[in-house]
Amino acid sequence: MEDKIACPNCKSDNTCRIVYGYPSDEEEFSRLVDEKKIVPGGCVISDNSPAWHCHDCQYSWGRYHDENDIDSFDYDQGFKINEVFDQ
């Protein structure tokens, strides 16, 4: 898993993964958010949920569902929107 990639909007490398789901370890989660190593994405994952966030320009990009091999270090799995609501 890549730790950082350049932001396509501003070219900064001050980026991190967006993680989804409810954290099983809230203390560890808060520490990583404070250190800007992750950004919380919430519990619902849609087809348009971004995978990356830039701390410099606040741009979010990528598609989370295209990167299903992301290891989010023991988070409970987020829900895909079509698993929550009848369509």
Question: Do residues 17 and 40 touch, judged by C-beta distance below 8 A?
Answer: no
Amino acid code (one letter) for 45: I
Q: What is the dihedral sign for C-alpha 64, 66, 72, 74?
A: positive
pTM: 0.70
Per domain, the residue ranges of the chain are 15-84
Q: Tell me the range of 22-26, 33-37, 67-71 where mean pLDDT is highest.
A: 33-37
* Length of the chain measured in residues: 87
What are the tens digits of pLDDT across the range 52-84? 999 999 999 998 875 544 444 444 445 544 554
